[in-house]
Structure 1
Amino acid sequence: MPFKDQLKQWATQRPDHPAVIAGAQSMSYSQLLASLQSQPQPGRQGISVINEPTGAELVVQFCAAVFQGRTAMVLDAGWPQTHQHQLRELALTWAGHIGSGERPFLLGLSSGTSNIPKGFLRNAASWRESFEESSRYFCLSDSTRTLAPGPLSASMNLYALGESLFTGGTLVVLPQFSADAAIEAITDHAVNRLVLVPAVLDIIVRRALATGADGGMLQHILCAGSALSQEVIELARTWAPNARVQQYYGAAELGFVTASPVQALEATQPPGTSSTDGGAVTSGGVGLPFPGVQLSIRGEDGGEVPAGEEGLVSVKSPYIAQGYAWGDDGLAFRALGDNGWHTVHDRGSIDPEGFLHLAGRASDMIITAGNNVYPHAVEQALRSGVDSGAQILVVGIPDTVRGQRVVAAFYPARQAQGHASAGILPSLRAAAASLPASHRPLHFYELGELPLTGSAKISRVRLAQWIVEGDPRARRRT
């Protein structure tokens, strides 16, 4: 199992060291191990469907499944009951049909094109080898105190739990998220590392700066899920001047793919350009291959494309999932032939320095009047003309003539809200003029808030829904 031996080791060597802190409850390594050993013996199904809010009980049930050699599936306790019931039935049906060999230790949930998440499978080795590399790469130790402010049902945060137990550190989680709760946890529990998505970092940093909360104790900030904006990077540097800020690109099914430190753009550098400095990435690229990862750009037939050209981002590594228990729609994770390369259909290219640049995901692609448009590429072009710190999102919405219509939305920087349109719209239109006609947004919308999933990731699906339904959170400005 990925951290079983290590947890036993820490319970013996450092029994009183806190393993998990959830709100007012703290569990030491010896207490956690004792709780696991007192759990009921498993039944015949071989799977533990865990439906608990983020907290100590969820941690105990997940670790108990690992110790008992069962497959664990962690539900989001905030999902509707019908949703949870359907996932439970899918998991039990899958468990009833698998053979007697080594069971996957994790049945994870990954968002898909339908309403029900895909169920992906992981063996213990994929996480164990990933822990070994990530603990070295991110310089983790038994003195690392990590705050993962998102729900433990999200694979990023569940991995942070396993990684922390593997290295003997302390994981701090929030039963209920708020910026004030996160800031209080950082102070009260001597947190020195954050693992979170950019939207949540943005919320915490702005609140901390507004209230004068100190971030000087932070040594490391790690972000994933979407690109860090230059504004958030600069704010994070102001609040936590001693912290290394890093981002990684990956997927639930692929694990780590690339990682790099980030730095704020120099004042003399034009908006939208990218630069590298000792492996640091500012914008454009998403990093160099993570240790243990081979990276290649390939075509649909699995063949490698010429250097510098765009294609499927393809990965070969020991961190890759085994496949799906259900939900394989052909638009996400798949093998490219039988040579070990896998993709989640993200498209991109690799520059001469080895940095991966993303163009977009196949499932996000907009087909308008027969033209294939990747939102990420349009967003980059629009962002190049805007230096206000606004976040730019591009989606396709139904169109009776074109099939889909390209539209763009912007979420102004906090200081610009209330009078953003007049300043931002001319810049967006000017940047759009440099795009091919098929890629130019036909309409622009101003957002009252970001369209986020339950794990605080940007959701194009939700944005498109707001626009189609006339939701006031997306107001048409042209």
Structure 2
Amino acid sequence: MGNITESYKTFAKSSPNKIAIRTNHQQISYQKWYELINQTANWLHSLHSENKTIGILLPNGIPFLQLFAGASKAGWIAVPYDMKWNITELEKKVQLSNPSIIVTTREIFSQIKKRIPNVMILDDLLQEIPQFDSTTLRKAEANLPFYIGFTSGTTGNPKAFVRSQDSWVASFDCNRFDFGLDESDHVLICGALIHSHFLYGAISTLYLGGTVFLLEKFSPIEGLAWIHSFRITTIYVVPTMLEAFLKEGNQMDRAIKIISSGAKWSEKSKLNIRNIFPNMAMYEFYGASELSFITVLSDKKGIQKATTVGKPCYGVEVQIRQPNQELAKPNETGKIYVRSKLVIDGYFDQDGRTIYSFQDDEGWATVHDMGYLDEDGFLYIVGRENNMILYGGINIFPEEIEKVISLHPNVEEVAVIGLSDLYWGQIVAAVVKGKCNPLELKRFCKTHLSSYKIPRKWFFLSEMPYTTSGKIARAELIKRMESKVTNH
């Protein structure tokens, strides 16, 4: 199919002076971007590495995208690492992904050089790379693996997955057909490039010939200022960022597309955000790191189908299967299976050398989410099999309870978890951010839920812990709350 950088040459010829990427301190035209990616690829070729894997441990900026795209052009694999990981977490991920080199800042280099091998300083490379040829390039093989990512890991043990060029090139069609994006778009990337939602947003925009506006760190004030100043047409966000925009309260009358992922966007938040962006088109998609886009819901359809996650994206098939693998009927809950060209090649085993697929013989795959399709083909998520609470032999999906509790006007955020119990096996517990008390929340739940689904324990936090992808870190919450219960 091709390479995620293959369109750069076209835009360098047709729109050489058009801005490809803009940050707070820097901007680069498509002509310069095309040349820089060629130079970066030729620099990587000069290293004569057998492993051909580069680790990227950098903040948001042009160099992050340069190394990622340059690696892809050279037929290398790029592995983004999170700067928020501690040294032990980083060591685990490095061992799993086995990079030939890791590029980082001078400051981080001094902190990790004794424990992490093959680390190079970005400033040194930025001096070296411009010396390489910016036009001629050795052709890389087609459809090579190009990206290693890590799942959030509900168990606390993330897995490394590997993705091929074709899977992202195919998914760029979703941008065109599902979100209506093209080369005229000015796209604001609000979050860290370590999160695949934001990295994909930037790389797909460059492939389509649009302009990427990259925040170095998320700031609602700066984000709104950029939207206003640079006539942004599209923003990539997670729901927590929208909440931050809401608190600023400045209205933007211009038409804008909002592409959200990472967690289900609450109805209350959707209504409130329209006060800030009255002329917005909202797109929230349901997906997974391993499966990429699965379904998409626009706000037009979302009005009639408020609790759905939408219909399958372009080129994606969805099935619901019963435990015996038979297809479920409409409105019948089962496990969600997906088939598309967007699915990862597979996971690395623990030695970081062998890739094993998670698709069946016919190409279907699952991340063990449970849900159902209605008679119109809209998908509804019931919950994740891994999150399921087993209370005295009854299966309870925390997502159902979270939806109810989040409707309470004083609840800002909620996570429902299962805590160990000698008699019941597990009991339902709610962790809440907001100004309310257990009694009023219990009464509220009674009007919407069966009694056995009402949380038995209630905890209140001023801030929730999050994974790097902006989701609530359930594994960490369970650990914290279990220790609270034990210590009492």
Q: Does the TM-score normalized on the shorter chain lie above 0.5? A: yes
1:371 aligns to 2:394 (yes or no): yes
Q: Which residue of 1 aligns with 2:338?
A: 315
Deviation per CA, 1:43-69, whole angstroms, max 9, x where unpaired?
Answer: 221111111111111011001101101
Q: Which residue of 2 aligns with 1:64?
A: 70
2: distance between equivalents of 1:365 and 1:134?
33
1:233 aligns to 2:264 (yes or no): no
Q: Cα–Cα, structure 1 residues 383 and 214, in superposed 2: closer, same or farther, change >3 Å?
A: closer
Q: Which residue of 1 aligns with 2:170?
A: 129
Q: Which residue of 2 aligns with 1:435?
A: 450
Question: How far did 1:179 drift?
Answer: 1.7
1:249 aligns to 2:286 (yes or no): yes
Q: Do the aligned residues in 1 keep the contact of 2:302 with 2:308 (CA within 8 Å)?
A: no
Q: Do the aligned residues in 2 keep the contact of 1:133 with 1:291 (CA within 8 Å)?
A: yes
Q: Which amino acid aligns with 2:219?
A: S
Q: Which residue of 1 aligns with 2:257?
A: 220
Question: How far did 1:427 drift?
Answer: 3.9
Match of 2:94 among 85, 88, 93: 88
Q: Cα–Cα, structure 1 residues 140 and 375, in superposed 2: closer, same or farther, change >3 Å?
A: same
Q: Which amino acid aligns with 1:223?
A: S
3-state SS, counterpart of residue 342 of structure 1? coil
Runs (5+) with no aligned partner, structure 2: 102-140
Deviation per CA, 1:191-244, whole angstroms, max 9, x where unpaired?
Answer: 22111111111112222x0xxx34223510111111111221122111111110
Q: Cα–Cα, structure 1 residues 291 and 398, in superposed 2: closer, same or farther, change >3 Å?
A: same
Deviation per CA, 1:443-471, whole angstroms, max 9, x where unpaired?
Answer: 22333233322332222223323433449
Q: Which residue of 1 aligns with 2:432?
A: 410
Deviation per CA, 1:288-315, whole angstroms, max 9, x where unpaired?
Answer: 1112111110134433123321110111
**Pairs within 5 Å for 1:305-384:** 305-326=328-349, 335=358, 337-382=360-405
1: distance between equivalents of 2:177 and 2:476?
37
1: distance between equivalents of 2:213 and 2:484?
39
Q: Which residue of 1 aligns with 2:313?
A: 290
Q: Which residue of 2 aligns with 1:41?
A: 44
Q: Which residue of 2 aligns with 1:140?
A: 181
1:425 aligns to 2:441 (yes or no): yes
3-state SS, counterpart of residue 165 of structure 1? helix
Q: Do the aligned residues in 2 keep the contact of 1:281 with 1:287 (CA within 8 Å)?
A: no
TM-score if structure 2 supplies the norm length?
A: 0.82
Q: Cα–Cα, structure 1 residues 196 and 307, in superposed 2: closer, same or farther, change >3 Å?
A: same
Q: Cα–Cα, structure 1 residues 102 and 142, in superposed 2: closer, same or farther, change >3 Å?
A: closer
Q: Which residue of 1 aligns with 2:423?
A: 401
Q: Which residue of 1 aligns with 2:471?
A: 457
Runs (5+) with no aligned partner, structure 1: 263-276
Match of 1:392 among 380, 405, 414: 414
1: distance between equivalents of 2:230 and 2:142?
42
1: distance between equivalents of 2:348 and 2:231?
40
1:74 aligns to 2:89 (yes or no): no
2: distance between equivalents of 1:466 and 1:368?
20
Q: Which residue of 2 aligns with 1:182?
A: 223
3-state SS, counterpart of residue 4 of structure 1? coil
2: distance between equivalents of 1:308 and 1:334?
30
3-state SS, counterpart of residue 15 of structure 1? coil
1: distance between equivalents of 2:86 and 2:327?
43
Deviation per CA, 1:395-452, whole angstroms, max 9, x where unpaired?
Answer: 112223333221123333xxxx4xx3389425434236x4152x33102233323332
Q: Which residue of 2 aligns with 1:269?
A: none
3-state SS, counterpart of residue 181 of structure 1? helix
Question: How far did 1:378 drift?
Answer: 2.6
Q: Cα–Cα, structure 1 residues 4 and 426, in superposed 2: closer, same or farther, change >3 Å?
A: closer
3-state SS, counterpart of residue 395 of structure 1? strand
C-alpha RMSD over aligned residues: 2.8
1: distance between equivalents of 2:347 and 2:304?
33
Q: Do the aligned residues in 2 keep the contact of 1:366 with 1:372 (CA within 8 Å)?
A: yes
Q: Cα–Cα, structure 1 residues 377 and 235, in superposed 2: closer, same or farther, change >3 Å?
A: closer
Q: Do the aligned residues in 1 keep the contact of 2:294 with 2:316 (CA within 8 Å)?
A: yes
Deviation per CA, 1:117-166, whole angstroms, max 9, x where unpaired?
Answer: 31111111111111023223211122211112111011111111121011
Q: Which residue of 1 aligns with 2:131?
A: none
Q: Do the aligned residues in 1 keep the contact of 2:346 with 2:358 (CA within 8 Å)?
A: no
Q: Do the aligned residues in 2 keep the contact of 1:108 with 1:119 (CA within 8 Å)?
A: yes
Q: Which amino acid aligns with 1:411?
A: K
1: distance between equivalents of 2:399 and 2:479?
19
Q: Do the aligned residues in 2 keep the contact of 1:148 with 1:160 (CA within 8 Å)?
A: yes
Range with bigger deviation, 398-407 or 461-470: 461-470
3-state SS, counterpart of residue 245 of structure 1? strand
Give the paired residue count: 437
Q: Cα–Cα, structure 1 residues 16 and 253, in superposed 2: closer, same or farther, change >3 Å?
A: same
TM-score if structure 1 supplies the norm length?
A: 0.84
1: distance between equivalents of 2:99 and 2:220?
40
Range with bigger deviation, 251-260 or 370-379: 370-379
Range with bigger deviation, 85-94 or 147-156: 85-94
Q: Cα–Cα, structure 1 residues 173 and 423, in superposed 2: closer, same or farther, change >3 Å?
A: farther
2: distance between equivalents of 1:2 and 1:218?
32
